[in-house]
Structure formats: C-alpha cells, structure tokens
Amino acid sequence: MNTVLALRDVSKQFPSHLAVDRVSLQVQRGEFFSLLGPSGCGKTTTLRMIAGFETPTSGEIRLNGAPIEQLKPYERNVSTVFQNYALFPHLTVRENVEFGLRRTKQSDIAKRVRDVLELVRLSGKESRYPTQISGGERQRVALARSLVLAPDVLLLDEPLSALDPNLRKQLRSELKSLQRRVEITFLFVTHDQEEALSMSDRIGVMHAGVLEQVGTPEEIYLTPRTRFVAGFLGAMNWLGDIGVRPEAVRVSESAPGNGARCRSATVVQSSFLGNCLRLEARLENGDPLVAELSRLNGSFAPGDRVHLWWQPADELTFV
C-alpha cells in the first residue's frame, strides 16, 4: 500500500463561513475511501478542492507526491462523477465516454470505449442520447466517462443519491465490485452512513468542516472517537456522557447480578420488525432508552415493568 492522495491542513474559507477546517487525510492506492457527513459538513467542498473546482485557502494537496492545489482541473489526473452526472446532452453515450480521450490514438479510443462500456454493461446503448436512457444507465455513463481515463483517483459526489432507493441498494455492491475489478482508487462522498459502511475500506467522518475520525467501518462504528461520530453512525442511547447502542441492550424481568449495568424501565412501545423487536422504554428519571432485541425474548406490552441492562464494555464514554 502506498499513498496516492494526501491532504495536509487543507482549509477553505468562504465569504460567509469556514467550509473546511484544516483537514489532513491520506488515501491509499486502490482504496475505497468514503467521506461521510451531514450536508454542509464540508465533504463536497473537500472533493471539489481535490478536483480543482475550488482552490484551498491554505494547506497542501498532493497527488502521487506532487502538489496539485494550484493546477487547473484539466491538468489533474483525477476525475469526477457528479451528483447529477453532468452528461453532455448533445452527445451520445459513446461521444460522452470519448470526450476525455481527445489526445489518445484513434485506434485505441475505439477499444477503450468498447471495453469500458462492456464493464458498466452499456454495450448496445452507444448511440443513445442521455435523455433516452434511464437514471441508472446515466450514472453508469458518468462512471464510464471517468473510468476510461484511468484516473489516479476517481471522485464520486453522492453518485447514488439521485436514484430510487431500491436501485441505490443494488448499485452499492455493484459499485464496490466494479472498484475491485478496475483497481482504481475511489474517493466517495456521501451523507448516507449505510452506503459508507457497506462499501468502504476506510471512512472519514466530517462535521462542521472538521475531519473528526478516520478508520475502517468497524473502527468508526465500534470505537467512535467523538460524540458526533457515535451519534451519526447508527442509533445511540445517551445517558449523560455515556452512549449505548440499542443492539447492546438486553432485557430481563429481574436484575441480572453479573456485573452488568442495569436500569429499571417502563415499556412505552414495542414494535415487531421481523428480524428483531424494537423496544422503546422510559427510565425512572424520564430518559428514553431504545433496545433492539431478539424476537426470542418474548413480547412486551406498553406499561410493562422491565429491567434493561448491558455490559460495561458496550458503553462509549465521551467527555
């Protein structure tokens, strides 16, 4: 593994606000790296600085070791898949894919275009215009148009968000396996934690311009470093500064004496979710607590008195 893209103390000050605040980040060659965060957290601005559409106010961006932050977008060997795909409406699928291959030999172009269209399963649609194909196909044209250039890093700006939810889930695994096959580094920007968790080798979580944590999906989910990261990925019960995941909470009728943390509570609502039972309860001090239980635990009715408990190891503490 070696570093293909490195950001050092990169900031972007807009007239109204600081969009990106001293972000440092290293992306390894061949990695699927996601920048995850709510809208307005600075993840898209970071991506646009790497692509060259924005110039950093300060800091350094290196691609293959060479600084690129002063280069124009057309001088950088990175390529972007835009959120709305930005396909050229006056060009066919083939012409869109060929757009970036201007300086390539003519004989090579035909083969490369054919190969990449086969890769994204668009063979046979070469002569269609973007308005004549489906949303999923448009997304694949946008991918093919960038992949055919074999960029050092492929930047993807929420490429699945314009698609309908079913298609989106299906495309996650497709995109992931595509990335494995082409062995191109993907830098994927998303606000969807499920998307980031399911596809990424590593995730960087951003909040208010700051990169809060970088790690594997497991690290980010199981050992979040900040309260924001803990709350943004998955559900979390908060008991003061202590967070407990709903799936770590167990239920019993009497207090277990095994060193577990235990609270007595009243059931507010119990919902059967098929694979699990979701129990919403209220503690004696009035705080809500949610537990996701195996359906084998039996059933509960509102008003039932229960004991909710979890292992101290499952507690996440933030000061």
Partner 1 sequence: MIRLRRLFLAPAWIITAGLFLAPLGIVVVYSLLTRGAYGGFSLPWTAESYTRLMDPLYLPILLRSFWIAGASTVLCLLLGFPLALFIARSGARRNLYLSMVMLPFWTSFLVRTYAWMFLLRDTGLINSLLIKLGVIHDPLPLLYNDGAVLVGLVYSYLPFMVLPLYGTLERLDGTLLEAAADLGATPWAALTRVVIPLCTPGIRAGSILVFIPCLGAYLTPDLLGGGKSEMIGNLIQNQFTTARDWPFGSAISLVLMGIVMALLFAFVRRDREGLL
Amino acid, single-letter form, for residue 61? I
Is 159 or 246 the residue whose CB approaches partner 1 more closely?
A: 159
Paired tokens of 64: 């293959």
Is 23 or 147 the residue whose CB approaches partner 1 more closely?
A: 147
Is 90 or 181 the residue whose CB approaches partner 1 more closely?
A: 90
Site string for partner 1, 272-301 (x = CB under 8 A): ------------------------------
We find the least distance from the C-beta atom of residue 73 to partner 1, in angstroms, to be: 4
DSSP assigned state of 74: G
Among positions 55, 84, 216, 223, the unique one binding partner 1 when judged by CB under 8 A: 84
Nearest alpha carbon to residue 187 among 98, 81, 102 = 81
Contacts of 302 (CB under 8 A, 6+ apart): 267, 268, 269, 270
Among positions 74, 165, 218, 258, the unique one binding partner 1 when judged by CB under 8 A: 74
Could you tell me if 87 and 98 are in contact, meaning their C-beta atoms sit under 8 angstroms apart? no
Nearest alpha carbon to residue 56 among 190, 64, 66, 48 = 48
Site for partner 1 in 145-164 (CB under 8 A): 145-146, 149
Is 74 or 240 the residue whose CB approaches partner 1 more closely?
A: 74
Contacts of 196 (CB under 8 A, 6+ apart): 34, 36, 188, 190, 203, 217
Among positions 24, 67, 70, 73, the unique one binding partner 1 when judged by CB under 8 A: 73
Q: Is 80 in the site for partner 1 (CB under 8 A)?
A: yes
Among positions 6, 18, 71, 86, the unique one binding partner 1 when judged by CB under 8 A: 86
Q: Is 14 in the site for partner 1 (CB under 8 A)?
A: no
Single out the segment in contact with partner 1 by CB under 8 A; choices: 29-37, 87-95, 184-192, 229-237. Answer: 87-95
Q: Is 170 in the site for partner 1 (CB under 8 A)?
A: no
Nearest alpha carbon to residue 142 among 178, 166, 103, 102 = 178
Among positions 34, 44, 45, 79, the unique one binding partner 1 when judged by CB under 8 A: 79
Is 153 or 293 the residue whose CB approaches partner 1 more closely?
A: 153
We find the least distance from the C-beta atom of residue 176 to partner 1, in angstroms, to be: 23
Number of Cβ within a 10 Å radius of residue 59? 17
Number of shown-chain residues binding partner 1 (CB under 8 A): 23
Is 89 or 312 the residue whose CB approaches partner 1 more closely?
A: 89
Nearest alpha carbon to residue 300 among 288, 309, 291 = 291
How far is it, in rounded angstroms, from Cα 153 to Cα 79? 7
Single out the segment in contact with partner 1 by CB under 8 A; choices: 83-91, 186-194, 236-244, 260-268. Answer: 83-91
Single out the segment in contact with partner 1 by CB under 8 A; choices: 88-96, 115-123, 173-181, 304-312. Answer: 88-96
Cα of 170 vs its chain's centroid, Å: 15
Is 122 or 141 the residue whose CB approaches partner 1 more closely?
A: 141
How far is it, in rounded angstroms, from Cα 308 to Cα 300? 13
Site for partner 1 in 101-130 (CB under 8 A): 102-103
Going through the chain in order, the beta strands assigned E by DSSP cover 3-13, 18-28, 32-36, 58-63, 66-67, 78-81, 153-157, 185-190, 202-207, 210-215, 237-239, 242-244, 250-252, 261-272, 277-283, 288-293, 305-310, 316-317
Which positions touch partner 1 (CB under 8 A)?
51-53, 72-74, 78-80, 82, 84, 86-90, 99-100, 102-103, 145-146, 149
